[in-house]
Amino acid sequence: MKKRILLPGLFLLLPVVLSALEIQLTAPREKETVPLLNAAQKAYVTMPRKVRIAFFADAGKRKQMKEAGYLPLPVKFAWKSDASKDAVFKLFLSEKPDMSSPLVFPAAAAGSSADNLKIGCTYYWQLEVTEPGKKPVRSKVGSFATEDRAPRLMRFPNVPNVRDLGGRKGLNGMYVKQNKIFRTAGMNNNARDIPAKTDEDLFARYPDYGKILPLWRQWKKELAESPRKFTRVKYALTGKWSVFMFDKAVLSEKETAFLDTLAAIPAELFGVKAEVMTSGRRDRLVLPFKAGSPRIAVLMQEFTAPAAGMMQLASGADDAWNLRVNGKLVYSRIQGNGKNPTTSNYHYFIPVRQGKNLAVVVLKSGKGNWMWCCGKRAKQDFADNLAANIADVRKTALRREPGASRIKPEGRAIFLDQLKVKSDIDLRSDRECFGMTGSPLGESVTWFHISSSSYGGMQGSWGKAQFTKVFKVFLDEKNYPVIFHCIAGQDRTGAVAFILNGLLGVDEEELYLDWEVTGFWNPSPKFNHARLFNNLINGFRKRPGNTLREKIEHYILECGFTAKDIEKFRTIMLEKR
């Protein structure tokens, strides 16, 4: 009886023993620290600052940075198992030993990989194997740590230059939280111009060009026939302008026609008296901006030319503008700059007569700053300039189309499902965001369109006003996690990141590095410290305070925030490890 009882029991146990699935975790090794930066990336971020800046300024070295890439190293997982070829594998990854709230990754029989892990973090992992018709079997729990080396680079299909603002050491030995604020390049392309196919299409949409283009073509013909007619005249304008401002979006046809009849500056124009204003640094005339109100300004200046001929000007403005000389429309920017206004934006020639001349500028305000720049420019060949301006007008857009989304389904899943992003701060201009009504990530993400400045522009009145709007988003905890970006994620984005990290007490060296990391994506020598970053950091060095952090705090207070606001932001973003 005893033998007959034990034998069946033995046979009942035997299939369980034979079918027990063996799973051996082989990589990462238990408690191993794995790097997330590749060797070239790590070599760069560990250089002393002077060495890095020299490296960054070298075009050949910048190519090496580009070759190193802007993406993180994936963490590679490997195991051994005696599962059948039909088994299904899943990798579970958690920050908690009990494997709660895990990330789940599909896996192959021999291994898998995971991207976008936090830096300086201990992870726990486990493999699940499911044989056909059987219950899932899980391995033991393994652990590893990621290297504590900023920046935390991130991989998102089709969206470049992405990284977490967090992971760095901040104020009072605390660390900037990860998975709270991400800086990226644009998640969709900039709006694109659809150029006019014929002059008739162009002139029908933009009557100014119907006047200017034929004039320029006439000059081109006359220049070929009689070059002496086009004598170069020394620049004679000054920085002093008589300014008339109107709370309207456009001038009427009658008002516009009246400008062509003027021979001198009137004391009053369309019921508005003139205000004399003088250009300041870099020939910039900043007009008082009235928020929420479309405005037109007419600027006038009488000047004396030493001879008759062609005088070269260099101008720029925040929005559309045109110029009349002695009652004739000679230059127009129908669609505005699309650039930061400087005298290097546009250069052109105007016809002048000997003695007294009258220049009349009609200037449209944008939604932000309102600026007119006008000055002299180094000599340029008239024929070359004329040809360039004719070609430029022919490329004028008949219409604009919104930029195509860069978000792929797998990227959307990372942003929304894994990182739980709630807000998208778009720092681009109205022109770049033409036609957009929300975030490319979808309706679940709140889109904040706040056109921003960069570098030295952060210190100006408009730059500060726009940053004020940006910082308000970061003071509302319900907006987190937040993505902020421009189109490249380097200039406007870099300036905002600099202020946020500086306010959190991140070391100056790391502020440099956070900006420089874009060099792994953008190899252009024009993207450099002397031309760009120095204008940002030097603007803050001039402010009151003993440390860079204190100077940035002073900037925040100047923007209208309080010490409590600063402390609130730090409470949201700083943590102990």
- Distance, in Å, from the CA atom of 293 to the CA atom of 364, rounded to the nearest integer, reads 11
Task: Tell me whether strands 23-27 and 88-94 are parallel, antiparallel or unpaired.
Answer: unpaired
CATH number for region 193-400: 2.60.120
How does 263-298 read in b/e, with b if 16+ C-beta sit within 10 Å? eebeeebeeeebeebebeeebbbbbebeeeeebbbb
| SS3 (DSSP) at 175 | strand
Residues 6+ apart with CB under 8 A from 260: 324, 327, 328, 329
**The pLDDT of residue 12 is above 50:** no
- 492 three-state secondary structure: helix
Is the confidence at residue 453, as pLDDT, over 70?
A: yes
Q: In angstroms, rounded to a whole number, what is the distance separating the alpha carbons of residues 489 and 40?
A: 22
What pLDDT is stored for residue 399 in this prediction?
75
Residue 434 has what pLDDT? 86
Q: Are strands 275-278 and 355-364 parallel, antiparallel or unpaired?
A: unpaired
Return the closest-CA partner of residue 217 out of 205, 204, 203. Answer: 203
DSSP code per residue over 14-64: HHHHHHPPPEEEEESPTTEEE-SS-HHHHHHHTS-HHHHHHHHH-HHHHHH
Question: Which runs of consecutive H residues, i.e. helices, occur in 276-381?
Answer: none
Residue 87: closest CA among 125, 18, 136, 143: 136
**pLDDT for the residue 206:** 85
Query: Under a CB-based contact definition with an 8 Å cutoff, are residues 561 and 549 in contact?
Result: no
pLDDT value at residue 369: 61
- What are the residue ranges spanned by the domains of the chain? 19-36+72-148, 193-400, 409-575
Q: What is the pLDDT of residues 160-191, one digit of tens each?
A: 999 999 999 999 999 999 999 999 999 999 99
pLDDT band per the 50, 70, 90 thresholds, residue 110? confident
Kindly state the average pLDDT of the residues 97-101.
95
CATH topology of domain 19-36+72-148: Immunoglobulin-like (2.60.40)
Of 249-258, 327-336, 497-506, 561-570, least confident by mean pLDDT is 327-336
Considering the chain, what is the average pLDDT of its residues? 91
Least confident of 23-37, 97-111, 169-183: 97-111
Contact 311, 354 (CB under 8 A): no
Is the predicted pLDDT of residue 298 greater than 80, yes or no?
Answer: yes
pLDDT recorded at residue 291: 61
Least confident of 196-210, 469-483, 557-571: 196-210
On the question of pLDDT at 14 being above 50, the answer is no
Determine the Cα–Cα distance for residues 180 and 476; give it in Å rounded to an integer: 12
CA distance linking residue 309 with residue 305, whole number of Å: 9
**Six-digit token pair at 270?**
């369309």
Distance from chain centroid for Cα 252: 37
Q: What is the mean pLDDT of residues 417-442?
A: 94
Q: What is the 3-state secondary structure (H, E, C) of 369-393?
A: CCEEEEECCCCCCHHHHHHHHHHHH
CATH code reported for the domain at 409-575: 3.90.190.10
Q: According to the 3-state scheme, what is the secondary structure of 434-450? A: CCCCCCCCCCCCEEEEC
Q: What is the mean pLDDT of residues 21-43?
A: 96
**Does residue 431 carry a pLDDT above 60?**
yes
Tokens of 568: 């609130």
- pLDDT above 90 for 13: no
Whole-number pLDDT of residue 336: 59
pLDDT of 3 over the 50 cut: no
What are 416's strand-pairing partners? none
Is the fold of 19-36+72-148 the same as that of 409-575?
Answer: no
Question: What is the model's pLDDT at position 335?
Answer: 63
Asked which of 75-79, 203-207, 288-292, 324-328 is least confident by mean pLDDT, the reply is: 288-292
Give pLDDT tens digits for 506-520: 999 999 999 999 999
Whole-number Å distance between alpha carbons of 490 and 444? 26
- One-letter amino acid of 227: P
pLDDT at 11 > cutoff 50: no
**Amino acid, single-letter form, for residue 254:** K
Distance CA 30, CA 23 (A): 15
Q: How many other β-carbons are positioned within 10 Å of the β-carbon of residue 565?
A: 17
**Mean per-residue pLDDT, 190-213:** 87
Instruction: Determine contact, residues 216/386, Cβ cutoff 8 Å.
Output: yes
Q: Find where tokens 């603002």 sit.
A: 165
Helix, strand, or coil (residue 495): helix
Share of the chain above pLDDT 70, in %: 94
Task: Place 59 in a pLDDT band, splitting at 50, 70 and 90.
Answer: very high
Asked if pLDDT for residue 204 goes beyond 50, the answer is yes
The answer to whether residue 4 scores a pLDDT higher than 50 is no
What is the model's pLDDT at position 20? 72
DSSP annotation of 65: H
Q: What is the mean pLDDT of residues 422-441?
A: 93
DSSP label at residue 479: G
What are the tens digits of pLDDT across the range 264-294?
999 999 999 999 999 988 899 988 876 666 7
Q: Which of 115-124, 151-160, 334-343, 543-552 has the lowest mean pLDDT?
A: 334-343
* pLDDT given for residue 338 in this prediction: 54
Mean pLDDT of 476-505: 97
pTM of the model: 0.74
Q: What is the pLDDT of residues 319-376, one digit of tens each?
A: 889 999 999 999 998 765 556 788 888 999 999 999 999 999 999 886 556 889 999 8
What's the pLDDT at 293? 67
From 495, 526, 457, select the one nearest 281 (Cα to Cα): 457
For the cut 60, the answer to whether the pLDDT of residue 422 exceeds it is: yes
Q: What is the pLDDT of residue 6?
A: 34
- Mean pLDDT for 208-215 is 92
